[in-house]
Amino acid sequence: MDTTSHVYYGDSKVCEEENYEGLKVTYGYSKDKRPDKKQIMSGMITNELGLPLYTETLDGNTADTVWLPDAMRHFRDLFGEMYSDSIFIADSKLVNKKNFGVLFDKTNPFSFISRCPEKFCSRIAEKTVSEAYSLNEWEYVGPCCKDEESKRATKYEVQGFDKIVHGNECRLVVFRKLDGDERLANESKKEREKIEEGIKKEFKKPFACEADARKAMDEFAKKYKPSLFNVTFEIQEETIEKRPKGRPSKSQQKLKITSEFYVKLKSLEQNKEKMEKAPSVVGNCSTDYKCSLRYKKQ
């Protein structure tokens, strides 16, 4: 199950008329990366081969979290009594406390697979990942798809844990990528170059005061916080003597003394802890893991 956006071209003034109750062509989150254009959304349920089983046209500002409960009802209607033998797969928008009430319905529970959001249920994903790395009992499962059997296919290791999530038994599976040292070295090199380029761009000019320089350093650190590198800076103050503007008088005018503050790179070193986990994040350094959540009884 998933949704997507479609850029709308044409006249949509009717959508702005009073008491209009039809499809709303409007601005919303653009998966086409065109937030400047009005759009409509569509939701789709497919089978395991990707063939559409159900599709619905939605208002342009419909969020996944809004349509998901409807999608689950459509899923149940599509398969009838056989739905209990099927697995409902959706992205992390599926995983929230409200949807758990539907997924774990006592009469008609769903079997499902989804990615566990980072902050869900008191950061249970983060805690489970830490537990996985502490135990270090990874099981090799190979490529995720049968048609990816090649030397270049990404391979995976996993660990599974039974957890109680909002009062329901779930299976949390942590998996990490296995990539060669050469690929990791290339990724590390690219990230270093990205950081160095960012430093040149952000700190090219001096700052008028030390407070502004420190603020810029903090903002840079937040921007590159998930990095494989630890970046440290130092502030260098330079004193400049300036003559007042205008033609100098016969009597010698005093020079105006001002200070400028430069942010300089002090060190750029690899984060050893993150480098050890790096095989799981090559190609995406914003997270150190992926954690999927499954209904335990599936």
Nearest of 67, 9, 2 to residue 36 by alpha carbon: 9
d(CA 271, CA 24): 49
- The answer to whether 237 and 263 are in contact (CB under 8 A) is no
Q: Is residue 1 part of a domain?
A: no
Q: Is residue 177 part of a domain?
A: no
Q: Is residue 123 part of a domain?
A: no
d(CA 96, CA 121): 8
Q: Is residue 265 part of a domain?
A: yes
- Helices 210-223 and 181-202 cross at an angle (nearest 10°) of 150
Q: Is residue 145 part of a domain?
A: no
- Name, in order, each residue with C-beta under 8 angstroms of 220's C-beta and a sequence gap of 6 or more: 198, 199, 202, 203, 231, 233
Write the single-letter amino acid at 158.
V
Q: Give the number of domains in the chain.
A: 1
Could you tell me the residue range of the domain that residue 228 belongs to?
182-240+258-279
Q: Can you give the pLDDT of all 298 residues of the chain as single tens digits? A: 899 999 999 888 888 888 888 899 999 999 888 999 999 999 999 988 889 999 999 999 999 988 998 999 898 888 887 877 888 899 899 999 888 888 888 888 888 999 998 888 999 988 998 999 899 999 998 887 666 556 667 788 899 999 999 888 999 999 887 765 566 677 788 888 888 898 998 898 999 999 999 999 999 888 887 778 888 899 999 888 777 666 666 665 567 788 899 999 988 888 777 766 554 333 222 223 445 665 544 4
Q: Which pLDDT score, from 0 to 100, does residue 131 have?
A: 92
- The answer to whether 236 and 283 are in contact (CB under 8 A) is no
Q: Is residue 98 part of a domain?
A: no
Q: Is residue 11 part of a domain?
A: no
Q: Is residue 232 part of a domain?
A: yes
Contacts 24+ apart (CB under 8 A), 132-136: 132/159, 132/161, 132/174, 132/289, 133/277, 135/159
Q: Which pLDDT score, from 0 to 100, does residue 277 have?
A: 57
Q: pTM score, two decimals?
A: 0.61
